[in-house]
């Protein structure tokens, strides 16, 4: 499905999501909405906003081209603890688990955000975006962050079939 098609079809879904998220803690970084819609996660909102902004700034500094692509494919980053997909095509959103958003360092989180934004197109594009930041790291850190990213983005066995 083309990005334009996803935007057109997803417009009503995004409008509904915005209405449902009304009153939820919200911030904006570089035109990307940062949201915490789950009431149980709202106490972590300020930390989420701070850490996500830091990760996005890291992506912009270390991988500016990939970050520009991320901005075209992501309209929002949502702190999400429900499992399932990490990219919602119709919402143009990254659904980030608390373990990544609140416990990862900014480089790992930035690599994850770049990866997830590439899922708007394909897993290959996702890895290409993540590689942009990995290539900016020294070899030891590149290997460590790369292995971590592979472990947190691995498809569950049932999804591979």
d(CA 89, CA 51): 23
Q: Are strands 87-88 and 93-96 parallel, antiparallel or unpaired?
A: antiparallel
Q: Where are the domains of the chain?
A: 3-154
Residue 161 has pLDDT above 60, yes or no: no
Higher model confidence: residue 92 or residue 117?
Answer: 117
At 141-153, the pLDDT tens digits run 999 999 999 999 9
At 6-47, the pLDDT tens digits run 555 444 444 444 544 557 899 999 999 999 988 999 999 999
pLDDT confidence tier of residue 91, bands split at 50, 70 and 90? confident
Residue 132 has pLDDT above 50, yes or no: yes
Residue position matching structure tokens 């066995």? 157
d(CA 41, CA 127): 29
d(CA 29, CA 52): 9
């Amino acid at each position: 499905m083309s990005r334009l098609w996803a935007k057109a079809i997803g417009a009503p879904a995004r409008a509904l999501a915005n209405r449902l998220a009304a009153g939820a803690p919200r911030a904006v970084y570089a035109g990307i909405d940062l949201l915490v819609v789950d009431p149980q996660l709202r106490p972590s909102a300020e930390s989420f906003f701070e850490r996500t902004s830091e990760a996005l700034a890291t992506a912009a500094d270390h991988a500016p081209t990939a970050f520009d692509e991320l901005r075209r494919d992501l309209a929002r980053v949502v702190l999400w603890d429900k499992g399932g997909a990490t990219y919602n095509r119709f919402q143009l959103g990254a659904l980030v688990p608390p373990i990544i958003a609140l416990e990862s360092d900014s480089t790992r989180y930035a690599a994850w955000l770049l990866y997830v934004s590439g899922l708007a197109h394909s897993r290959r594009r996702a890895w290409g975006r993540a590689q942009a930041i990995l290539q900016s790291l020294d070899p030891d850190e590149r290997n460590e962050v790369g292995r971590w990213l592979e472990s947190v983005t691995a498809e569950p066995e049932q999804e591979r079939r």
